[in-house]
Amino acid sequence: MGETKPSLSKPPASKPLAGKRILIGNDDGIHAPGLKALEEVAHALSDDVWTVAPEVEQSATSHSLTTRRPLRLRRFGERRFAVDGTPTDCIVVGLNHVLKDRRPDLVLSGFNHGANLGEDVGYSGTVAVAMEACLFGIPAIAMSQQREHEQPVDFAPAKAFAGDIVARLMAVDWPPDQLVNVNFPPLAPEAVKGVRVGRQGRRDTQIGVVEGVDPGGRPYLWIGDFLRHHSEDASSDLGLVAQGYVSVTPLHLDLTHHAGLERLRGLLG
Protein backbone atom coordinates (compact mmCIF):
# COMPACT_ATOMS: atom_id res chain seq x y z
CA MET A 1 0.00 0.00 0.00
CA GLY A 2 1.93 2.98 -1.26
CA GLU A 3 1.25 6.12 -3.21
CA THR A 4 -1.48 4.77 -5.52
CA LYS A 5 -4.94 5.83 -4.48
CA PRO A 6 -7.67 3.18 -4.34
CA SER A 7 -10.31 3.80 -6.96
CA LEU A 8 -13.17 6.07 -5.90
CA SER A 9 -15.31 5.00 -8.86
CA LYS A 10 -18.36 2.74 -8.74
CA PRO A 11 -17.90 -0.67 -7.02
CA PRO A 12 -17.11 -3.76 -9.09
CA ALA A 13 -19.97 -5.86 -10.46
CA SER A 14 -19.07 -8.85 -8.27
CA LYS A 15 -18.54 -8.47 -4.55
CA PRO A 16 -14.83 -8.81 -3.64
CA LEU A 17 -15.49 -10.98 -0.57
CA ALA A 18 -18.45 -12.95 -1.92
CA GLY A 19 -18.99 -16.06 0.18
CA LYS A 20 -17.07 -14.63 3.14
CA ARG A 21 -18.89 -14.09 6.43
CA ILE A 22 -18.19 -10.69 8.05
CA LEU A 23 -18.90 -9.78 11.68
CA ILE A 24 -18.99 -6.09 12.58
CA GLY A 25 -18.50 -4.56 16.03
CA ASN A 26 -17.69 -1.15 17.48
CA ASP A 27 -17.50 0.81 20.73
CA ASP A 28 -19.82 3.71 19.84
CA GLY A 29 -22.95 1.59 20.08
CA ILE A 30 -25.58 -0.03 17.87
CA HIS A 31 -27.07 3.33 16.81
CA ALA A 32 -23.77 5.04 15.91
CA PRO A 33 -23.58 6.68 12.45
CA GLY A 34 -20.11 5.21 11.95
CA LEU A 35 -21.47 1.70 12.42
CA LYS A 36 -24.12 2.30 9.77
CA ALA A 37 -21.44 3.60 7.40
CA LEU A 38 -19.27 0.52 7.96
CA GLU A 39 -22.24 -1.77 7.42
CA GLU A 40 -22.79 -0.13 4.03
CA VAL A 41 -19.16 -0.81 3.10
CA ALA A 42 -19.35 -4.40 4.33
CA HIS A 43 -22.53 -5.11 2.35
CA ALA A 44 -20.70 -3.95 -0.78
CA LEU A 45 -18.05 -6.60 -0.05
CA SER A 46 -20.24 -9.57 0.94
CA ASP A 47 -23.86 -10.65 1.30
CA ASP A 48 -23.16 -12.42 4.62
CA VAL A 49 -22.77 -9.51 7.04
CA TRP A 50 -23.65 -9.60 10.76
CA THR A 51 -23.44 -6.93 13.47
CA VAL A 52 -23.06 -7.39 17.23
CA ALA A 53 -22.43 -4.04 18.91
CA PRO A 54 -22.79 -2.49 22.38
CA GLU A 55 -26.25 -1.30 23.33
CA VAL A 56 -24.81 2.06 24.43
CA GLU A 57 -21.52 3.84 23.85
CA GLN A 58 -18.50 2.06 25.35
CA SER A 59 -15.65 4.30 24.22
CA ALA A 60 -12.29 3.93 26.01
CA THR A 61 -13.32 0.66 27.65
CA SER A 62 -10.26 -0.99 26.11
CA HIS A 63 -10.17 -4.82 26.18
CA SER A 64 -12.42 -5.19 29.23
CA LEU A 65 -14.66 -8.22 29.68
CA THR A 66 -17.84 -8.47 31.80
CA THR A 67 -17.63 -11.43 34.21
CA ARG A 68 -19.60 -10.35 37.31
CA ARG A 69 -23.10 -10.04 35.85
CA PRO A 70 -25.21 -11.60 33.08
CA LEU A 71 -25.43 -10.01 29.64
CA ARG A 72 -28.60 -9.22 27.67
CA LEU A 73 -28.78 -9.73 23.91
CA ARG A 74 -31.29 -7.72 21.90
CA ARG A 75 -32.17 -8.07 18.22
CA PHE A 76 -32.35 -4.93 16.06
CA GLY A 77 -32.74 -6.66 12.70
CA GLU A 78 -32.36 -9.98 10.95
CA ARG A 79 -28.57 -9.88 11.39
CA ARG A 80 -28.15 -6.97 13.84
CA PHE A 81 -27.79 -7.48 17.57
CA ALA A 82 -26.85 -5.41 20.61
CA VAL A 83 -25.30 -6.51 23.91
CA ASP A 84 -25.49 -4.51 27.15
CA GLY A 85 -21.78 -4.91 27.66
CA THR A 86 -18.35 -3.94 26.37
CA PRO A 87 -17.05 -4.20 22.81
CA THR A 88 -15.13 -7.32 23.83
CA ASP A 89 -18.30 -8.84 25.26
CA CYS A 90 -20.00 -8.28 21.92
CA ILE A 91 -17.38 -10.21 19.97
CA VAL A 92 -17.36 -13.06 22.49
CA VAL A 93 -21.17 -13.29 22.28
CA GLY A 94 -21.09 -12.90 18.52
CA LEU A 95 -18.58 -15.69 17.97
CA ASN A 96 -19.84 -18.13 20.58
CA HIS A 97 -23.58 -17.56 20.42
CA VAL A 98 -24.93 -15.54 17.49
CA LEU A 99 -22.61 -17.15 14.92
CA LYS A 100 -21.92 -20.43 16.70
CA ASP A 101 -23.03 -22.35 13.60
CA ARG A 102 -20.20 -20.85 11.55
CA ARG A 103 -17.67 -18.32 12.71
CA PRO A 104 -16.88 -15.32 10.48
CA ASP A 105 -13.99 -15.12 8.06
CA LEU A 106 -13.36 -11.50 9.00
CA VAL A 107 -14.15 -9.11 11.84
CA LEU A 108 -14.43 -5.38 11.14
CA SER A 109 -14.60 -2.77 13.89
CA GLY A 110 -15.74 0.84 13.45
CA PHE A 111 -16.01 3.25 11.90
CA ASN A 112 -14.99 4.87 15.15
CA HIS A 113 -16.14 8.41 15.90
CA GLY A 114 -12.61 9.86 16.04
CA ALA A 115 -9.12 8.55 15.43
CA ASN A 116 -7.37 5.71 17.23
CA LEU A 117 -3.74 6.70 16.79
CA GLY A 118 -0.63 6.22 18.87
CA GLU A 119 -1.47 5.69 22.54
CA ASP A 120 -5.18 5.45 21.73
CA VAL A 121 -4.62 1.81 20.83
CA GLY A 122 -4.27 0.91 24.50
CA TYR A 123 -7.54 2.59 25.50
CA SER A 124 -9.65 1.92 22.43
CA GLY A 125 -12.73 -0.29 22.49
CA THR A 126 -12.64 -0.20 18.68
CA VAL A 127 -9.20 -1.77 18.59
CA ALA A 128 -10.22 -4.19 21.38
CA VAL A 129 -12.86 -5.68 19.06
CA ALA A 130 -10.10 -6.58 16.62
CA MET A 131 -7.88 -7.81 19.45
CA GLU A 132 -10.52 -10.23 20.68
CA ALA A 133 -11.14 -11.56 17.18
CA CYS A 134 -7.40 -12.04 16.81
CA LEU A 135 -7.38 -14.16 19.96
CA PHE A 136 -9.91 -16.42 18.24
CA GLY A 137 -7.67 -16.67 15.18
CA ILE A 138 -9.90 -14.53 12.95
CA PRO A 139 -8.50 -11.76 10.71
CA ALA A 140 -9.62 -8.41 12.11
CA ILE A 141 -9.40 -4.77 11.09
CA ALA A 142 -10.16 -1.76 13.32
CA MET A 143 -11.08 1.41 11.41
CA SER A 144 -11.44 4.96 12.71
CA GLN A 145 -12.33 8.30 11.16
CA GLN A 146 -10.43 11.25 12.56
CA ARG A 147 -12.46 14.42 13.04
CA GLU A 148 -11.60 18.06 13.18
CA HIS A 149 -11.73 19.41 16.72
CA GLU A 150 -15.34 20.09 17.79
CA GLN A 151 -16.63 19.40 14.27
CA PRO A 152 -19.12 16.65 13.35
CA VAL A 153 -17.53 13.51 11.98
CA ASP A 154 -17.69 13.12 8.21
CA PHE A 155 -17.34 9.43 7.35
CA ALA A 156 -16.94 10.09 3.61
CA PRO A 157 -13.17 9.33 3.57
CA ALA A 158 -13.69 6.06 5.46
CA LYS A 159 -16.53 5.01 3.15
CA ALA A 160 -14.49 5.89 0.07
CA PHE A 161 -11.33 3.96 0.97
CA ALA A 162 -12.27 1.20 3.41
CA GLY A 163 -13.72 -1.33 0.97
CA ASP A 164 -10.63 -1.37 -1.23
CA ILE A 165 -8.30 -1.59 1.77
CA VAL A 166 -10.25 -4.50 3.30
CA ALA A 167 -10.35 -6.41 0.00
CA ARG A 168 -6.61 -5.95 -0.54
CA LEU A 169 -5.76 -7.04 3.01
CA MET A 170 -7.95 -10.13 2.71
CA ALA A 171 -6.17 -11.14 -0.50
CA VAL A 172 -2.99 -12.08 1.43
CA ASP A 173 -2.24 -14.55 4.22
CA TRP A 174 -2.27 -13.11 7.74
CA PRO A 175 0.01 -14.12 10.63
CA PRO A 176 -2.20 -15.73 13.28
CA ASP A 177 -1.43 -13.09 15.93
CA GLN A 178 -1.83 -9.97 13.77
CA LEU A 179 -4.60 -7.40 13.58
CA VAL A 180 -4.68 -4.20 11.55
CA ASN A 181 -5.49 -0.66 12.68
CA VAL A 182 -6.63 1.81 9.99
CA ASN A 183 -7.19 5.55 10.42
CA PHE A 184 -8.69 7.95 7.88
CA PRO A 185 -7.77 11.66 7.77
CA PRO A 186 -10.51 14.32 8.08
CA LEU A 187 -10.39 15.33 4.41
CA ALA A 188 -12.68 15.14 1.44
CA PRO A 189 -12.03 11.79 -0.30
CA GLU A 190 -10.49 13.46 -3.34
CA ALA A 191 -8.06 15.36 -1.09
CA VAL A 192 -6.69 12.21 0.59
CA LYS A 193 -3.14 11.64 -0.66
CA GLY A 194 -3.32 7.84 -0.61
CA VAL A 195 -2.69 4.90 1.69
CA ARG A 196 0.52 4.31 3.60
CA VAL A 197 1.67 1.72 6.11
CA GLY A 198 3.26 3.04 9.29
CA ARG A 199 4.05 2.01 12.82
CA GLN A 200 2.12 2.95 15.95
CA GLY A 201 3.25 6.41 16.98
CA ARG A 202 3.64 8.37 20.18
CA ARG A 203 2.29 11.87 20.80
CA ASP A 204 4.40 14.77 21.96
CA THR A 205 1.81 15.58 24.63
CA GLN A 206 0.06 13.57 27.30
CA ILE A 207 -3.61 13.06 28.08
CA GLY A 208 -5.20 15.91 30.02
CA VAL A 209 -7.20 16.28 33.23
CA VAL A 210 -9.81 19.03 33.48
CA GLU A 211 -10.77 20.57 36.82
CA GLY A 212 -14.28 21.84 37.45
CA VAL A 213 -17.03 22.44 39.98
CA ASP A 214 -20.40 20.67 39.86
CA PRO A 215 -23.75 22.44 40.44
CA GLY A 216 -23.51 21.59 44.14
CA GLY A 217 -20.21 23.43 44.48
CA ARG A 218 -18.14 20.26 44.77
CA PRO A 219 -14.84 20.12 42.85
CA TYR A 220 -14.30 17.32 40.34
CA LEU A 221 -11.66 16.03 37.95
CA TRP A 222 -12.51 14.87 34.44
CA ILE A 223 -10.00 12.88 32.41
CA GLY A 224 -10.09 14.45 28.98
CA ASP A 225 -8.51 13.72 25.62
CA PHE A 226 -5.02 14.18 24.27
CA LEU A 227 -4.46 17.89 23.76
CA ARG A 228 -3.22 17.35 20.21
CA HIS A 229 -2.29 14.58 17.79
CA HIS A 230 1.17 15.92 16.93
CA SER A 231 4.18 13.60 16.62
CA GLU A 232 7.74 14.25 15.49
CA ASP A 233 7.75 10.90 13.66
CA ALA A 234 6.33 11.60 10.21
CA SER A 235 6.34 7.88 9.32
CA SER A 236 4.10 6.87 12.25
CA ASP A 237 0.30 6.57 12.14
CA LEU A 238 0.02 10.01 13.73
CA GLY A 239 2.39 11.55 11.22
CA LEU A 240 0.81 9.92 8.20
CA VAL A 241 -2.75 10.99 9.03
CA ALA A 242 -1.52 14.52 9.76
CA GLN A 243 -0.03 14.62 6.25
CA GLY A 244 -3.34 13.56 4.70
CA TYR A 245 -2.78 9.83 4.22
CA VAL A 246 -4.85 6.87 5.34
CA SER A 247 -2.62 5.06 7.85
CA VAL A 248 -2.51 1.26 8.06
CA THR A 249 -0.71 -0.26 11.06
CA PRO A 250 -0.23 -3.98 11.76
CA LEU A 251 -0.48 -4.77 15.48
CA HIS A 252 0.01 -7.95 17.46
CA LEU A 253 -1.00 -9.22 20.88
CA ASP A 254 2.40 -10.34 22.14
CA LEU A 255 3.43 -7.63 24.61
CA THR A 256 6.75 -9.34 25.42
CA HIS A 257 9.72 -6.99 25.10
CA HIS A 258 11.87 -9.52 23.27
CA ALA A 259 15.02 -7.38 23.31
CA GLY A 260 14.93 -7.44 27.11
CA LEU A 261 14.48 -11.20 27.52
CA GLU A 262 18.15 -12.19 27.55
CA ARG A 263 19.14 -9.27 29.77
CA LEU A 264 16.56 -10.26 32.39
CA ARG A 265 17.46 -13.94 32.12
CA GLY A 266 21.04 -13.01 32.89
CA LEU A 267 19.98 -10.74 35.73
CA LEU A 268 17.46 -13.08 37.34
CA GLY A 269 18.91 -16.45 36.40
Binding-site members for a divalent metal cation are 27-28, 59, 112
Cβ neighbours around 182 below 10 Å, total? 27
Q: How far apart are CA 24 and CA 162, in angstroms?
A: 13
Count Cβ atoms below 10 Å from residue 227 Cβ, excluding itself: 12
Interatomic CA distance for residues 74 and 54, integer angstroms: 10
CA gap 258, 95 in Å, rounded: 32
Spatial contact of 87 and 26, defined as CB atoms under 8 Å apart: yes
CB 108 within 8 A of CB 42: yes
Using only the alpha carbons of the chain, give its radius of gyration.
19
Enumerate the known binding-site residues.
27-28, 59, 112
Q: How far is Cα 244 from Cα 242, in angstroms, rounded to an integer? A: 5
**186/226 Cα distance (integer angstroms):** 17
Q: How far apart are CA 98 and CA 110, in angstroms?
A: 19
φ and ψ at residue 39, rounded to 5 degrees: -60, -40
- Which residues, 6+ apart, have CB-to-CB distance to 123 below 8 Å? 60, 62
